[in-house]
Amino acid sequence: MLESSRASSSEISSLFLRSQASCICACRSQMSSLAQPQLPRDRQCGISAWPCYRHPRREPLSLVNLRKRSLEPGEEELASRLDHYKAKATRHIFLIRHSQYHVDASLEKDRTLTPLGREQAELTGLRLASLGLKFNKIVHSSMTRAIETTDIISKHLPGVCKVSTDLLREGAPIEPDPPVSHWKPEAVQYYEDGARIEAAFRNYIHRADAKQQEDSYEIFICHANVIRYIVCRALQFPPEGWLRLSLNNGSITHLVVRPDGRVALRTLGDTGFMPPDKISRS
């Protein structure tokens, strides 16, 4: 079953602006001296939790219409209403980097997988299948190398629906710090790609919906820059450090989002299931 979710530039911009306007805290902590006393957790940046823990679409208090409360409401009433919106399930998010591809092709449509890349995708598919998990869906980038990687992996996961999206396409998420000399995209790319990739993070990385009763297992097949940025944002690390992380082709990164919104990173760029001669990073 294949669904298409190609987003126009206006839709992407609209999604980003909506999430940007509703974000409670876009705080980036600066490094402080060891001699400097630490502020209490609830005073460090105005909130006491992680970005997706306070995600406006998932934070229970933000979903309760307080204007509908009676003039003299009791704590039990509010607690009952909050419980209705609380997440109960855990989301398991598997971020897969596409396999090796022909990087020298001039057109994106010609950047197909190499023979080694196809072998890597087979190995990744076998690894995912061996986990014995009931995967809910596969969301993949609409770029050629991601589509081909998805097609091979999905053969090992029959019955799992596939959804294509432009949000997960490769790009320049944010200017890296420290800067590097070998990779200097045009400044405009950070504004165009950065808005889209940030929108992808807010759209896909959040706690489970309150209606979800069982834990979910979702696969996202995309690109190194996108995955590295998402990991930094999910763990509330400075996103400018994304380029310090390195991911092999066909690697598996496993994020866990708990019902209370806390995020854990179980694996980052795992390719231990591949023979050494099958590992690449192009």
Q: In what order do the strands lie in the sheet with 252-257?
A: 2-5, 161-165, 137-141, 216-222, 91-97, 252-257, 263-270
Q: 96 and 74: one domain?
A: no
Domain shared by 79 and 185, yes or no: no
pLDDT score recorded for residue 13: 53
Q: Which residues contact 233 (CB under 8 A, 6 or more apart)?
A: 51, 198, 201, 205, 239
pTM over 0.75: yes
- Do 193 and 267 belong together in one domain? yes
Alpha-carbon distance of 209 to 91, in angstroms, equals 10
Residue type, 257: V
Task: Clarify whether residues 141 and 188 are in a common domain.
Answer: yes
| Same domain as 274, residue 143 | yes
64 and 183 belong to one structural domain? no
**Among 57, 128, 111, 110, CA closest to 87:** 57
Residue at 156 is within a domain: yes
Question: Is 112 a member of any domain?
Answer: yes
Contacts of 122 (CB under 8 A, 6+ apart): 152, 156
9 belongs to a structural domain: no
**pLDDT of 86:** 85
Tokens of 146: 């991601």
Do 236 and 253 lie in one domain? The reply is: yes
Q: What are phi and psi of 95, to 5 degrees?
A: -100, 115
Q: How many domains does the chain have?
A: 2
User: Residue 151: CB partners within 8 Å, gap ≥ 6?
Assistant: none
pLDDT value at residue 183: 86
User: What's the pLDDT at 63?
Assistant: 63
The predicted pLDDT at position 59 comes to: 67
Same domain as 82, residue 119: no
107 strand-pairing partners: none
What is the token pair recorded at 125?
A: 């598919």
Residues 138 and 250 in one domain: yes
Distance CA 250, CA 66 (A): 47
Q: Are residues 68 and 143 in the same domain?
A: no
Q: How far apart are CA 172 and CA 124, in angstroms?
A: 26
- Expressed as residue numbers, the domain containing 263 is 91-278
Written as tens digits, the pLDDT of the chain (282 aa) is 444 445 555 555 555 545 544 443 443 443 333 333 343 433 343 334 444 445 545 666 666 665 555 545 556 666 666 666 788 999 999 999 999 999 999 999 999 999 999 999 999 999 999 999 999 999 999 999 999 999 999 999 999 999 999 999 999 999 999 999 888 899 899 999 999 999 999 999 999 998 999 999 999 999 999 999 999 999 999 999 999 999 999 999 999 999 988 999 999 999 999 999 999 998
DSSP assignment of 74-124:
-HHHHHHHHHHH---S-EEEEEEE---B-TT-SSGGG-PBPHHHHHHHHHH
Please spell the DSSP secondary structure of 194-223, one letter per residue: HHHHHHHHHHHSSPPPTT--S-EEEEEEE-
Is 157 within the bounds of a domain? yes
